[in-house]
Structure 1
Amino acid sequence: MGIFQMPSLGADMEDGTLVEWMVKPGDEVHRGDIVAVVETQKGAIEIEIFQDGVVHSLDAELGAKLPVGAPLATILAAGEAPSSAQAAPMPATVPEVETPEPEKAPVSTAVADSELPRPAMLGIAASPAARQRAAERGVDLAALAGSGPAGAVVLSDVVSAIPPSAEPARPAKAADAMTEMRKAIAAAMQRSKREIPHFQLSQNVDIQTASDWLAARNAAVPPAERILLGTLFMKAAARAAAQVKEMNGHYGEGGFTPAAQVNLGVAVALRGGGLIAPAIPEADKLSLPALMAAMKDLVARARAMRLRSSEMTSGTLTVSALGEKGADAMAGIIFPPQVALLAIGAPKVRPWVVDGAIVPRLLVTLTLSADHRVSDGRQANKFLAEIDTLLQSPEAL
């Protein structure tokens, strides 16, 4: 028997609100399956399970705000019989939602009263998260075929009914949600600056060769198969991290633990403000087209708040890029418990010396923020030099 607990989805997370179950008692689950949706200060996160078994009971109520480590469900191993001491399973069906009494607060404070489900929708079995998204996007729950317990409409049913091209509508109280996200960011960055002895190194890198190679490569393929310059930066950073172990890992109570693989965190600016840094697993081993596809998928889901818990917690090194237009350089703050962050300035054409002559070249400034408890200038310099070397042979990436 195993107890599935509220996971920690970041160094600053203390609790989360359970907004949706994706499973019911009796369901068979496997490692990596999404079993619940939890709402945190950073948005709604899909929670994965990391064991195989059968759901015996759901031990937490929808809408409950639970601390990290609180029991969510009881999972039995294959063939394991439940003991009499185990809690009885919660009902497999989703009860109809009655009109809330005035003294009871709604499950989510992110939706204005005017956006609560219409009376005609209240008799429809649906999860709170599904009702909220349907209200935000004007989706008629009665027109949906529910895939949840006893045919209840769940969040994924509502998301599937929304056209992919539709621009997500912001809730009336999105400002409140953004305030909570800013608080979460402030707490994490304050802790980082307080506890991590940062030091920074910057290096200008000539990327003219990489830019020319990329332009020729993209001209020979359909638009859907083209890749961005940022993909080259990400791949070079991931491969450099695999070589310089001091930049890739976590620092905890027992000191530094190098990571066995490079899970590259990608800093994503959210619409309306805020920042989140989900990770791409084993980014150093992906081909450039595969990495480009993974980045596009990650950014789209991050902005739609449909990230998985593993993507929020598995990062071993983060890269933050300013894009093609912007400031020359940026010094970033490390995401704990990681030990390094690479910031990439906007590429600019500048005078550069090549074979004794001053010529215009496309340059970019890389700024590495590193944890002085783990590394010093020698390792940081080696990391930046390795990225420089890799970018001079883009065809080998």
Structure 2
Amino acid sequence: MIEFLMPSLGADMEAGTLIEWKKKPGDTVKRGDIIAEVETQKGLIEIEVFDEGIIGELLIPEGAKVPVGTALALINPSGIASEPEEEEKIPEKKPVALQPTEERILEPISLEKTEEIHTKASPFAKRIAFENQIDLSLIKGTGPEGAITKEDVEKTLAQRDITEKEKTQEVAVAPEKPGTVAESIRTAVAAAMSKSNREIPHYYLGKRIDMTNALTWLKEVNSKRTVKERLLPVVLLIKATAQSLTEFPDLNAIWDDGLQQKKDINIGFVVSLRSGGIIVPAIHQASLKNVDEIMEALNDIIPRARALKLRSSELSDSTVTITNIGDGGADTIFGVIYPPQVAIIGFGSISEQPFAQDGMLGIRSSIFVTLAGDHRATDGLTGSGFLVSLNKYLQNPESL
């Protein structure tokens, strides 16, 4: 049997709450399938499975708080399904005692004691029902063996709202606490950045890069496209970064009792949230994507990041981070490395600046690029070579 473990979704994550299983014993799974939803400080995250086989046993009940690295389920890679009765035993399975220093580990989400014991529903469904004062005994479940799912409760809640509106009565909804999501995410970021400042000896390098050729090429390419198909300058920055990392693989790495280079170049892209704070999803295998595929990835991942609907791999797979101020912002940004990564590249705002070229002074579109490196992993010579390579690719955008 293969143990499916609670993944780490960032250096700041110590545990997550298992909200809902998306698979059951006997189900066949393959790489990339969503097996569960887990609630963390960064929102509700879809957890992917990276092995193929048949679900043998679910070890953790819904609603339990689980430390990173805990076995959540067993997967049979041989393709032989477990006995059917195993599924019925799961709710009775006692949680395993884990890490005595953790508080309330594996405790189900608390509900009112007045809740009827015989009602069969997932903990998440019970929580929604309790918060919205819905009687579970009046709901017909559509889950396994008639169990009430969160979708059943949400459907009932929607129907109740419609009915009350038709009666011209106000819908009583508990007001959302302002800043709750933003505060949670800021807390998570603060933990990671504090760890970074404590443990990582940063060094910083900077280089001003002429973007005139790149923007001219981009304007010409976009003139032949529809508005929907047009590329933004940031895709050239991401692609040039990915290409340069192939030449300097020590920067595409993590530090874990030594330098560990990563084969795939998965670029974490900093996304600002409207409610406050940031989140850093990964653009997978950026070096293998062309500029159109990178643009497509951005159009997909940014809205989902702001809606806090990312997959576990998008939060945990980044091998290096890019932070980009965008037009009209600060000229220069000095990033803080996100552990266990060993580098972060900062791109300031593209602006018109005096620029000397071939002995002549003129006005050129330029950008100031910084590299923050982990001095345990690399040094200024490596970092400087990377910035020179980055400049080379941006001066020849057609090569991207």
Which of the five TM-score ranges fits, normalised by the shorter chain?
0.7 to 0.9
Matches within 5 A, 1:22-61: 22-61=22-61
CA-to-aligned-CA distance 1:314-369 (integer Å, 9 cap, x gap): 11111010011200001000011110000100111011112222211101000110
TM-fit CA distance, 1:175: 2.1
Taking a change above 3 Å as real, the CA distance of residues 394 and 139 of structure 1, as seen in their structure-2 partners, is farther
Matches within 5 A, 1:280-299: 280-299=283-302
- Runs of at least 5 residues in structure 2 that lack an aligned partner in the other structure: 92-109, 116-121, 163-173
Q: 1:317 aligns with which of 302, 317, 320?
A: 320
Following the alignment from structure 1 to structure 2, what is the Cα–Cα distance between the partners of residues 171 and 113? Answer: 16
Residue matched to 1:8: 8
Following the alignment from structure 1 to structure 2, what is the Cα–Cα distance between the partners of residues 134 and 305? Answer: 22
Matches within 5 A, 1:374-389: 374-389=377-392
Taking a change above 3 Å as real, the CA distance of residues 181 and 107 of structure 1, as seen in their structure-2 partners, is farther
SS in 1 for 2:38: strand
TM-fit CA distance, 1:83: 8.7
Taking a change above 3 Å as real, the CA distance of residues 131 and 389 of structure 1, as seen in their structure-2 partners, is farther
Residue matched to 1:239: 243
Residue 123 (str. 1) matches residue 123 (str. 2): no
Residue matched to 1:175: 179
Residue 101 (str. 1) matches residue 117 (str. 2): no
Amino acid in the other structure paired with 1:317: V
SS in 1 for 2:12: coil
Amino acid in the other structure paired with 1:277: V
Following the alignment from structure 1 to structure 2, what is the Cα–Cα distance between the partners of residues 358 and 133? Answer: 64
Following the alignment from structure 2 to structure 1, what is the Cα–Cα distance between the partners of residues 373 and 84? Answer: 53
Taking a change above 3 Å as real, the CA distance of residues 66 and 328 of structure 1, as seen in their structure-2 partners, is same
Residue matched to 1:226: 230
Residue 206 (str. 1) matches residue 222 (str. 2): no
SS in 2 for 1:257: strand
Following the alignment from structure 2 to structure 1, what is the Cα–Cα distance between the partners of residues 85 and 123? Answer: 31
SS in 2 for 1:292: helix
Residue 271 (str. 1) matches residue 274 (str. 2): yes
Q: 2:362 aligns with which of 351, 359, 364?
A: 359
Amino acid in the other structure paired with 2:36: A
Preserved CA contact (<8 Å) 2:181 2:275: no
CA-to-aligned-CA distance 1:17-46 (integer Å, 9 cap, x gap): 111211112111112211001010111111
Amino acid in the other structure paired with 2:263: A
Preserved CA contact (<8 Å) 1:25 1:90: no
TM-fit CA distance, 1:11: 1.5
Q: CA RMSD in A?
A: 3.1
TM-fit CA distance, 1:60: 1.6
Amino acid in the other structure paired with 1:220: K
Taking a change above 3 Å as real, the CA distance of residues 4 and 86 of structure 1, as seen in their structure-2 partners, is farther
Preserved CA contact (<8 Å) 2:57 2:74: yes
Following the alignment from structure 1 to structure 2, what is the Cα–Cα distance between the partners of residues 141 and 246? Answer: 57
Taking a change above 3 Å as real, the CA distance of residues 84 and 282 of structure 1, as seen in their structure-2 partners, is closer
Preserved CA contact (<8 Å) 2:128 2:150: no
Taking a change above 3 Å as real, the CA distance of residues 81 and 131 of structure 1, as seen in their structure-2 partners, is closer
Following the alignment from structure 1 to structure 2, what is the Cα–Cα distance between the partners of residues 266 and 132? Answer: 36
Following the alignment from structure 1 to structure 2, what is the Cα–Cα distance between the partners of residues 7 and 373? Answer: 26
Larger radius of gyration: 2
Taking a change above 3 Å as real, the CA distance of residues 132 and 351 of structure 1, as seen in their structure-2 partners, is farther
Amino acid in the other structure paired with 2:2: G
CA-to-aligned-CA distance 1:283-332 (integer Å, 9 cap, x gap): 01111101110111111211122211111111111101001120000100
Preserved CA contact (<8 Å) 2:3 2:74: yes
- Runs of at least 5 residues in structure 1 that lack an aligned partner in the other structure: 92-98, 144-169
* Structure 1 length-normalised TM: 0.82
Taking a change above 3 Å as real, the CA distance of residues 90 and 195 of structure 1, as seen in their structure-2 partners, is same
Taking a change above 3 Å as real, the CA distance of residues 355 and 17 of structure 1, as seen in their structure-2 partners, is same
Range moving further from structure 2, 70-79 or 59-68: 70-79
Preserved CA contact (<8 Å) 1:116 1:132: no
Following the alignment from structure 2 to structure 1, what is the Cα–Cα distance between the partners of residues 234 and 395? Answer: 15
Taking a change above 3 Å as real, the CA distance of residues 26 and 326 of structure 1, as seen in their structure-2 partners, is same
SS in 2 for 1:44: strand
SS in 2 for 1:90: helix
Following the alignment from structure 2 to structure 1, what is the Cα–Cα distance between the partners of residues 237 and 28? Answer: 41
TM-fit CA distance, 1:48: 0.8
Taking a change above 3 Å as real, the CA distance of residues 77 and 249 of structure 1, as seen in their structure-2 partners, is same
SS in 1 for 2:328: coil
Following the alignment from structure 1 to structure 2, what is the Cα–Cα distance between the partners of residues 113 and 34? Answer: 25
TM-fit CA distance, 1:260: 1.1
Preserved CA contact (<8 Å) 2:209 2:366: yes
Taking a change above 3 Å as real, the CA distance of residues 7 and 140 of structure 1, as seen in their structure-2 partners, is farther
Residue 340 (str. 1) matches residue 343 (str. 2): yes
CA-to-aligned-CA distance 1:197-254 (integer Å, 9 cap, x gap): 001101110001111111111011111110100000000011111111121111102x
Preserved CA contact (<8 Å) 2:111 2:130: no
Alignment length (residue pairs): 358
Residue matched to 2:69: 69
Q: 1:308 aligns with which of 280, 293, 311?
A: 311
Following the alignment from structure 1 to structure 2, what is the Cα–Cα distance between the partners of residues 331 and 122? Answer: 57
Preserved CA contact (<8 Å) 2:373 2:383: yes
Taking a change above 3 Å as real, the CA distance of residues 215 and 338 of structure 1, as seen in their structure-2 partners, is same
TM-fit CA distance, 1:77: 2.4
